[in-house]
């Protein structure tokens, strides 16, 4: 039996996998990262548009970035950077 936390994580991983597939498809539509970035941000605003004001959506995006930046910063360090 799966507990609610595991179920939420599994749902997230399914959504993340689908998002990465969509990203790959988007790369065939445009090679310009800026086009893809803006399109993904528009999708986030559209996701919340009927429920939240734009300022709150922007705050959600900023908080997610604050959470993700350290993870990706640590992941992108050169192999000998921890010595």
Summarize pLDDT for 12-68 with one digit per residue, the tens: 999 999 999 999 999 998 889 999 999 999 999 999 999 999 999 999 999 999 999
Q: For residues 70 and 20, what is the distance between their CA atoms, to the nearest angstrom? A: 20
| Structure tokens given for 52 | 């939240």
Residue 6 or 41, more confident: 41
Query: Can you give the pLDDT at residue 4?
Result: 84
User: How far is it, in rounded angstroms, from Cα 45 to Cα 37?
Assistant: 13
26 close to 39: Cβ distance less than 8 angstroms:
yes
Are the C-beta atoms of residues 57 and 48 closer than 8 Å to each other?
yes
């Amino acid at each position: 039996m799966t507990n609610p936390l595991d179920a939420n994580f599994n749902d997230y991983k399914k959504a993340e996998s689908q998002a990465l597939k969509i990203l790959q498809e988007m790369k065939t539509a445009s090679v310009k990262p800026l086009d893809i970035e803006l399109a993904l941000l528009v999708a986030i605003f559209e996701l919340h548009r009927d429920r939240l004001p734009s300022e709150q959506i922007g705050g959600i995006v900023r908080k997610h970035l604050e959470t993700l930046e350290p993870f990706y910063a640590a992941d992108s360090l050169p192999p000998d950077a921890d010595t």
